[in-house]
Amino acid sequence: MSSSYERLHDSYVSNKGRSTSCVALAVLLGCLIVLGVLLAIAVLKRPPPPKDHETLPQDNSGGNSSTNQCSMALVESIPIQMKYKANVTLGIPLEQVWKDLIAMATDQVDVVSFYWTLTGEDIKVNSSTDVPGRNILKELGELPSRNISVRVVTSVPSVRTNSTDLKILKQKGVHVREVNFGRLTQGVLHSKFWIVDRKHVFIGSANMDWRALTQVKELGVVIYNCSSVAKDLHKIFQSYWVMGQSNSTLPQPWPAKFETDINLDHPLLVEAENVSSSIYLSASPPSFCPPSRTQDLEAILSIISEAQHYVDVSVMEYFPTTRFERPLKYWPFIDDAIRMAAFERKIKFRMLISCGRDSDPAMLPFLQSLASMDNPHDDISIQVKLYIVPVGNQTDIPYSRVNHNKYMVTDKVAYVGTSNWSGDYFITTAGVGLVISQHAPQPEWKTKALQSQLRAVFDRDWYSEYAVNLTDLGHRPDCALST
């Protein structure tokens, strides 16, 4: 049996993605430098300068300017029975954000989720903690009666469940398409996002699962009144939607309507509430990205390479390998970028990796290898902790009680994604990332900048009772990586 919350579905998918390997040792500079060159030149196809903007004016800095309000906020789901100290930073509750998005919809709601299990019966569990999920399912199903179009995209199930959510929604007039990523890319559709009225957006770690509302620790971002971002995300939605047709085939190249004006080289520039933000969306897999779309791996590597002081990472899984293809392949790109930045540029890394009852113990040696580089004498700082959500009396609920976050925050950028950090998620599996760089004077930086709030959330978790150093792990029944 697989070893994580999402591997209930992932482990049944055999991804046979492309492998990557390190070139032979380079004289003096060594393999890491050569790998860095390969990343920049060969592996990643950086997007060319975009075409003339059709809808967004270009400013003198080479970015895209927008008059949208683009207010944004962190969104979190904290599992029941988890307690933090008073006066810590908390995101807006996920249930509240989803309910608000449904309530404010007037025209169209598009939802992408890996899978749907919004009631306890879907997984043969009788728990009152599924009530928020039931309510979301009910409210989504009522939208067509308000003359609001609802479209849902999900992955062709990689494991059979008892879920009736999509059947119920179809009966109420919701349009549903399942994308067979196994056939198209040998992966799955792992993205999770909402688009409401082409101007409001939610992106985060949460699937359409009642456990995401009460039993799993989730993190995302909601952006209101930001049609530029919403319309750009809609292009990604449309790529899934058209590939959800029977007998679809991947276009080569993607038609021009899927190209984007917003990417790493030309982010969207937004001014709101005295906070200046640069925003763009990244995506995977490469086969679903037109040349102008920044690939998710490129975004992550760029963020690490541009950090000047620190990089904080919180992800459910971290493997410098593939996970689902057979045979497994070594996939060192992110791992090498971390080691290089810490060793050569003295960037301080903090890695907060989830550990639950279903986590794969094979992850531990890779984390120990990273942590072994930590050397204060040489000013090399890579600290690794495991985040353990207490199971308590929730033992009857499978694939829950885990920190499902997938984000990174540096002194330059906030990144919130939908992918775990292992090879398949960037080679064959569909995911999206939201990249935000912000500037603001005090006190706006602390009170209004999402980037600052994300760092505060990371600090909250890093110093909490739930974060355990690898050297202090010992035997902990709620963490499969413990001895």
3-state secondary structure of 375: strand
Q: Kindly report the CATH number assigned to the domain that includes residue 217.
A: 3.30.870.10
What tokens were used for 430? 């569909």
Nearest-Å Rg of the Cα atoms of the chain is 21
264 within a domain of the structure (yes/no) = yes
Q: Which domain holds residue 322?
A: 71-469
Number of domains in the chain: 1
Question: Mind telling me the catalytic residues?
Answer: 190, 192, 197, 404
* Positive or negative: CA dihedral 50, 54, 56, 57: positive
Q: What is the pLDDT along the chain (483 residues), one digit of tens a residue?
A: 333 445 443 433 333 333 333 333 333 334 443 344 343 333 333 333 333 333 333 344 567 877 678 999 999 999 999 999 888 999 999 999 999 999 999 999 999 999 999 999 999 999 999 999 999 999 999 999 999 999 999 999 866 678 999 999 999 999 999 999 999 999 999 999 999 999 999 999 999 999 999 999 999 999 999 999 999 999 999 999 999 999 999 999 999 999 999 999 999 999 988 999 999 999 999 999 999 999 999 999 999 999 999 999 999 999 999 999 889 999 999 999 999 999 999 999 999 999 999 999 999 999 999 999 999 999 999 999 999 999 999 999 999 999 999 999 999 999 999 999 999 999 999 999 999 999 999 889 989 999 999 999 999 999 999 999 999 999 999 999 986
Distances (CA, A) of 378 to 342, 343, 471: 10, 9, 21
28 within a domain of the structure (yes/no) = no
37 within a domain of the structure (yes/no) = no
Q: For 221, phi and psi rounded to 5 degrees?
A: -130, 135
Say what the pLDDT of residue 160 is.
66
Say what the pLDDT of residue 388 is.
98
184 within a domain of the structure (yes/no) = yes
Say what the pLDDT of residue 46 is.
36
38: Cβ contacts below 8 Å, ≥ 6 apart: 23
415 within a domain of the structure (yes/no) = yes
408 within a domain of the structure (yes/no) = yes
Say what the pLDDT of residue 158 is.
66
What tokens were used for 350? 């903090």
287 within a domain of the structure (yes/no) = yes
Say what the pLDDT of residue 262 is.
98
What tokens were used for 460? 């909250």
Of the candidates 426, 295, 410, the residue with the CA atom closest to the CA atom of residue 342: 410
Look up tokens 């009396």; give the residue.
Answer: 393
Q: Is the pTM of this model over 0.85?
A: yes
189 within a domain of the structure (yes/no) = yes
Q: Rounded CA gap, 312 and 481, in Å?
A: 21
CB 467 within 8 A of CB 390: no
Say what the pLDDT of residue 157 is.
82
Say what the pLDDT of residue 36 is.
45
Say what the pLDDT of residue 19 is.
35
